[in-house]
Amino acid sequence: MRDALCIEVIARRVESEGYVVVDFAMGAAHAAVRLAPHPRKYGNRSSARNRVVSAAQATIATGSRQAVAAEKRDDRIAWLNKASTPAIAAHRLSMEALRGELERALDLRTDASTFMCAEYAEGSRGYVRHRDAAPTRPSGRKLTAIYYLNPSWSPAAAGQLLLWPKEGARVAPVSIAPLNDRLVVFKSFLEHQVLPSRAPRLAVTAWFYNRLELGLELIAEKSRLEDT
């Protein structure tokens, strides 16, 4: 983790605003490696027909089954559950260090992290508005940390992350471009969306979560789905 990444500032912004954007977060050398494995080689389209994803990996507030539906998102993903390369190992260590620091600063009650690499192809539709966790307890995922790997990204490429820090139909979202070496950390229950992209768009997401609360959240989700 770079010295410029001030934990105190990140924690304060997350607590007060719900999110923080950190540019030049990890350094050019870290970003240049691009954290293989690449989704094209190891991942699949986000479709329930051709993927097997555990409920713990897929959970969102609208239901685990919907998280991988092709009509919701059209990216390719690879779960980085093991440090299969030095680049992945380095990134996981950096994010785990960040989780530990934010745990101490914000008392999040997290005890684990999970990692995913996602690529949107040129012309992709993006990902519909959703949450990574339920807005009420039990809520397993506490923070979402997205690290972007897109050299020479331009405004014409679109593909912005839209984030709604506040509730309300008339509340305008924050628009965040997926710039190279940019880290976005936000509360996982906040609604967010990925806009259609006119260029390949790569990101690595880390979720900082509580194992017990995630299990309880999944049980609650399953119960709601069975009642519908």
89, part of any domain = yes
Q: Is 156 within the bounds of a domain? A: yes
The answer to whether residues 200 and 121 touch, using CB atoms and an 8 Å cutoff, is yes
- Quick check: 65 pLDDT over 60? no
Residue 220, domain member (yes or no): yes
- Confirm if 77 and 46 have CB atoms less than 8 A apart: yes
Structure token digits, residue 38: 């690449």
Whether 1 maps to a domain, the answer reads no
Length of the chain: 228
41 or 96, which is more confident?
A: 96
Poorest-pLDDT segment among 53-62, 89-98, 138-147, 151-160: 53-62
Q: Nearest Cα to 119, choosing from 214, 34, 211?
A: 34
Please, which pLDDT band fits residue 32 given cuts at 50, 70 and 90? confident
- Is 76 inside any structural domain? yes
Cis peptide leading into 135, omega within 30 of 0?
no
Name the token pair of 48.
Answer: 């329930």
Torsion, Cα 46 116 201 29, to 10 degrees, reads: -160
| Residue tagged 């936000």 (tokens) | 186
Q: Say what the pLDDT of residue 220 is.
A: 82
In this prediction, residue 87 carries a pLDDT of 86
Residue appearing with tokens 């628009």: 175
Is residue 2 in a domain? Answer: no
- Residue 56 pLDDT: 35
- DSSP letter string over 86-124? HHHHHHHHHHHHHHHHHHHHH-----EEEEEEEEEPTTB
Q: What are phi and psi of 218, to 5 degrees?
A: -65, -40
Q: What is the pLDDT of residue 217?
A: 86
What total of structural domains would you count in the chain? 1
For position 155, which CATH number holds? 2.60.120.620
59, part of any domain: yes
What confidence score (pLDDT) does residue 62 get? Answer: 41
What's the domain range around 209?
7-227
pTM for the complete prediction? 0.84
**Residue 65 forms part of a structural domain:** yes
Helix boundaries (H) for the chain: 7-17, 28-33, 39-42, 55-58, 86-106, 211-227
